[in-house]
Amino acid sequence: MDENINELISDLRTYLEYLKGMGITTLPVADHVPEKAPPSEALTLADVKKELGDCKRCKLHRTRKTIVFGEGNEGARLMFIGEGPGYDEDVQGRPFVGRAGQLLTKIIESINLSREEVYIANIIKCRPPQNRNPEPDEIESCNPFLMKQIRVIQPGIICALGTFSAQTLLKTDTKITALRGKLYELEGIKVIPTYHPAFLLRNPERKREVWEDMKKIEELLRSP
């Protein structure tokens, strides 16, 4: 290595003496050294949350108590996306914590995972008054943040819970009964829609179909 450096210095000296011989005694030096571009750092969920801030991008901010951003593992292989916060979620600021949430926890555990291992979010982050359905302008305002969360987490599979989640993610108006249990794709991520746990509480006879959908998800998670 030393030898190489000595050789370089010797070459440089010869070159400078050559320039001197040509009458060139000064060398131009750039008066502005361009700054190195900062390394492109990957976006994190904290960045997305910061950008969302105290969001007032749609009318739901007027009636919500808390923004329910989503929670779970930032590196989750499986992501659940529901419709929107209900009363308990609005109070606690966490997704799926009411009765439907307890059922979702059981559904997750049925495929030997825990809530901490997956990521749980909703199509909209603020509770609609009286739990009414989210309106198109609200979904449109909120969706970019969910998409950023999905891009940060890059799960292998998204389980879309219920009509609004499946229809929004898959940009379709096909009914959940026709969508459920089938495999779709969103930005290279597998999407399997199934019934929303709140629907299962009202229609317990449909639980079997959800267990079937979860088995498919479990198999997909096992495959490389």
Closer CB to ligand SF4, 120 or 124, in the complex: 124
Beta bridge partners of 41: none
C-alpha–C-alpha distance, residues 65 and 117, integer Å = 27
Locate the DSSP E strands across 46-138.
71-72, 78-82, 119-122
CB 121 within 8 A of CB 79: yes
Pairing of strands 119-122, 71-72: antiparallel
Least Å from the CB of residue 90 to ligand SF4: 11
What 166-170 contacts at long range (C-beta under 8 Å, 24+ apart), as own/partner pairs, is 166/191, 166/193, 168/123, 168/139, 168/143, 169/81, 169/123
Least Å from the CB of residue 112 to ligand SF4: 33
Least Å from the CB of residue 46 to ligand SF4: 16
Least Å from the CB of residue 140 to ligand SF4: 9
Closer CB to ligand SF4, 76 or 124, in the complex: 124
CB 84 within 8 A of CB 127: yes
Closer CB to ligand SF4, 142 or 166, in the complex: 142
Closer CB to ligand SF4, 58 or 108, in the complex: 58
Beta bridge partners of 82: 122
By CB under 6 A, name the binding residues for ligand SF4: 55-58, 60-61, 67, 124-126, 138, 141-142
Least Å from the CB of residue 92 to ligand SF4: 16
Closer CB to ligand SF4, 55 or 221, in the complex: 55
